[in-house]
Amino acid sequence: MGSYLRLEVVTPKKKMFASDVSEIQFPSAFRGYYGILPDHTPVLTPLGDGLITCLSEGKKVVMAIFGGFAEVGPSQVTILARECEMADSLDAYAISEQLHLAEKQIKDALTPAEQQKLQTVIDACRIKLQALE
């Protein structure tokens, strides 16, 4: 059993993260969170919205992720994300302000489409704030 996995997290805009890690957790779309260690059985799964956490050089790294796919192999995990933000680049104050505004606006939303759009913003803000904890 190897002691590390290669983790790469890529969005349509850029490579967000690439490092050797000792463990990874990520949200699947249908089965909760996957916990991955070296020599894991190969898996291809759609991603849900949530947090990726991993241990890189003994330090915990956290990313907020929104959709995509994960390909897991025995020595590498590749995450193709629709959107991803590193926790250390998030602004708690700005996210909190966006959350409060969306919570106010959802009460006055006139159509189900408006409500759904605002609920998506609220959910994303909560995930980002969770990444900062």
Average pLDDT over every residue of 69-96:
94
The predicted pLDDT at position 30 comes to: 87
- Report percent pLDDT > 90 for the chain: 77
Residue where the block lists tokens 């890529």: 10
Average pLDDT over every residue of 44-65:
94
Give the CA count within 13 Å in the CB-facing half-sphere of 110. Answer: 0
Q: What is the pTM of this model?
A: 0.85
pLDDT over 60 (residue 100): yes
pLDDT over 90 (residue 107): no
3 confidence band (pLDDT: 50, 70, 90): confident
Q: Is 7 exposed, middle or buried (0-12, 13-18, 19+ CB in 10 A)?
A: buried
DSSP letter string, 29-71: SSSSEEEE-TTPPPEEEEEEEEEEEEEETTEEEEEEEEEEEEE
The predicted pLDDT at position 31 comes to: 84
61 confidence band (pLDDT: 50, 70, 90): very high
